[in-house]
Amino acid sequence: MTEMSERIARQHQRALCGFALLLMLLGPSPVLSRQLQTQQVTIAGKARIISITLEGKRHFKNIILDLDDGRAQLVEAKAGVCRTLRSGMRVQATGSWVVASAAARAATGTPRFLVTSVTASGGLQGKPIVTAGSSGSDMVAAASTATMGGQPFRPALVANYLAQRDLSTIIIPFAAIGADGKACPSTQLPQVPVSQVKQAIFQEANRDGITVGSLYNQCSYGKTRLTSLNSLVAPLVKLPCNGTTNDVAWTFSKCDFDDFNGYADAADEALRAQGVVLERYKYRVYLVPPSTCGFVGLGYIGCDGSYTCRAWIGAGFWASPAAIAHELGHNLFLNHANSINTEGVIEEYGDMTGIMGYCCDTRCPSPTQAWQLGWLTMQQLDRASLPPGQTVQLTLDSQAVNPQSGLRINTTSWVAGVDPVFLALRTSERGDKGLASWYSGQVHVYQSPVTSTYDPRPSLWHGGLNVGDSWTEPTAGLVVRHLGSSGDSAAISVCCIGGAETAASCAALRDNDCNGLVGNADPTCAFLAAAKARQVAAASRIRRKPSKVITNTALARPTTPAPKRRPSKSAR
């Protein structure tokens, strides 16, 4: 696991298991006198994970076990124990009961269970759908959206199964009313009328505005619908100041799990008494009046259909499409959209390009999460299609205008511990109309370990690239560049570092070091070419220089001198 992955994991361990602080932040409660029983016991049930968003970008998560005897039990766990739990899993938890004083038990309701170890199995599973790419003779050049080494190339396509087609939801506003007809102590009457809630929910009731329905319709390209035909805003439900539902006491004087869960149970009972068939709706959103509950929203992270799927919206956000869409996103297995700041600290809600970041800009889910929901089909590269030293150039359409947009780079196919990289062009239009203008026109870089529709792990936003900008993932040796944009499309290059440039890579016009330059345009290649030229010139000078003629006298055959001729006798 990389240092970055470890940092994210540690942060989410703390977030998932931080219950004591949660209880202090949700509402006032007495100081508990409590003692941990030393006897270890095991309880079993199905897990529900609740994400809790507090104002000021604070957040926590609750683990609820639906026990085999029918009770819902809040559990506390030490960091790391509960990291792998997901909603819908079958869980066996070993730990101890926390024993409180009689006064504390009366104030806080259900006793708490401190977990020391868990075993879990099951839960919804799934795998993405991959359509193989092609190249060379198998390619239709006109249909190609990419090149590799200058040749037409069609990457594989990858998508997920659709999370939900019919987002059938009942929105339930309620108030806490005392016997005198006035708001209960510690509460106020709702600040938003039901008619205004309908305008925040239904596109049919607010044709020119942004609604929960319009966001889901536009961001999903009509694949996931929330309309007045499949959903309902219920009339205001009036609840007493306190009560007992399903043998669990609740009160508006505080806001623990038993309380806000009790409000929901009591509101359900009241609506059933009015003839409302709640089972027609898969998702239930409860609008909490001004009270001790200081949250923006709560929601189950994932619903598998075996339990009532719930979300709660705080008093100041009844008419906020972004807040309601965010909590419904949790119900669809989405986690928060993280970012990393300049100091290397993970910010839970820091990705402001997606609805699962902090409230309340209205924008679509980030491309990683839109892909998770089955709304986007992406091009995909892996080690086979992105070998070392190769550069792939692609065109990305804006997420807002084309359901086949974005790129997923499966880095896990060649390096462990580096989450897949997602690239997407974002523009401020349609479902992304509320996207901040400074993000529009940029190619955004994300990472996410998510592998299927039902994988509720968070995503991480690194930032947006303007034309000419690049981003590097050093462990994977990955370099991404934004080459240029035209309207709703952008040209990018993706390169996997293959090492230093060589004479062979330079001659083949291959960008081995992924600096964006090839051939003599690359300083290294220019240097290698100049060095080669000097070698050739030196060799040429040696060949042109006259050779020295050497006579090998040592091997020459000796010449015998002619004998002197004696004078003839007659001459004498």
Nearest to 329 by CA among 435, 434, 224: 224
Residue-level pLDDT at 276: 98
Q: Which residue has the higher pLDDT, 83 or 425?
A: 425
| Percentage, residues of the chain above pLDDT 70 | 82
Position 61 pLDDT exceeds 60: yes
Residue-level pLDDT at 111: 75
Confidence band for 113, pLDDT divided at 50, 70 and 90: confident
Compute φ and ψ for 521, nearest 5 degrees: -70, -20
Confidence band for 89, pLDDT divided at 50, 70 and 90: confident
Highest mean pLDDT, choosing among 72-76, 134-138, 207-211, 325-329: 325-329
Position 126 pLDDT exceeds 70: yes
Compute φ and ψ for 253, nearest 5 degrees: -80, -10
Residue 305 is given by DSSP the state S
Nearest to 174 by CA among 185, 196, 191, 190: 190
Residue-level pLDDT at 533: 74
Mean pLDDT of 484-499: 94
Mean pLDDT of 547-564: 51
Classified as helix, coil or strand, 26 is: helix
Q: Report whether 170 contacts 164 (CB < 8 A).
A: no
Q: Report whether 513 contacts 501 (CB < 8 A).
A: yes
Mean pLDDT of 297-323: 95
Q: Which residue has the higher pLDDT, 191 or 519?
A: 191
Residue-level pLDDT at 23: 35
How far apart (Å, rounded) are the C-alpha atoms in residues 354 and 316?
A: 21
Q: Which residue has the higher pLDDT, 74 or 422?
A: 422
Q: pLDDT per residue over 147-177, tens digit each?
A: 877 788 889 999 999 999 999 999 999 999 9
Confidence band for 9, pLDDT divided at 50, 70 and 90: very low
3-state secondary structure 345-382: CEECCCCCCCCCCCCCCCCCCCHHHHHHCCCCEEEEEC
Both tokens assigned to 240? 């007493």
Segment among 67-76, 305-314, 345-354 with least mean pLDDT: 67-76
Residue-level pLDDT at 145: 65
Nearest to 348 by CA among 51, 79, 86: 51
CA-derived radius of gyration, the chain: 35
CATH of region 3-122, choose from 2.40.50, 2.60.40, 3.30.870, 1.10.10 = 2.40.50
Mean pLDDT value across the chain: 85
Residue-level pLDDT at 38: 59
Highest mean pLDDT, choosing among 89-98, 107-116, 407-416: 407-416
Residue-level pLDDT at 483: 97
Residue-level pLDDT at 246: 84
Confidence band for 535, pLDDT divided at 50, 70 and 90: confident
Alpha-carbon dihedral sign for residues 250, 254, 257, 262: positive
Residue-level pLDDT at 103: 47
Confidence band for 561, pLDDT divided at 50, 70 and 90: low
Confidence band for 374, pLDDT divided at 50, 70 and 90: very high
Position 36 pLDDT exceeds 60: no
Mean pLDDT of 210-239: 98
Residue-level pLDDT at 65: 87
Confidence band for 134, pLDDT divided at 50, 70 and 90: low
Mean pLDDT of 322-328: 97
Position 528 pLDDT exceeds 90: no
Mean pLDDT of 545-552: 54
Q: Which residue has the higher pLDDT, 266 or 43?
A: 266
User: Does the predicted TM-score (pTM) go above 0.85?
Assistant: no
Helix (H) / strand (E) element for 542: namely helix 523-544
Confidence band for 14, pLDDT divided at 50, 70 and 90: very low
Position 211 pLDDT exceeds 70: yes
| Percentage, residues of the chain above pLDDT 90 | 56
Residue-level pLDDT at 529: 82
Residue 183 is given by DSSP the state B
Classified as helix, coil or strand, 207 is: coil
Task: Pinpoint the residues of the chain covered by CATH 2.40.50.
Answer: 3-122
How far apart (Å, rounded) are the C-alpha atoms in residues 254 and 107?
A: 9
Helix (H) / strand (E) element for 216: namely helix 212-219
How far apart (Å, rounded) are the C-alpha atoms in residues 366 and 376?
A: 11
Position 349 pLDDT exceeds 80: yes
Mean pLDDT of 245-257: 92
Confidence band for 4, pLDDT divided at 50, 70 and 90: low
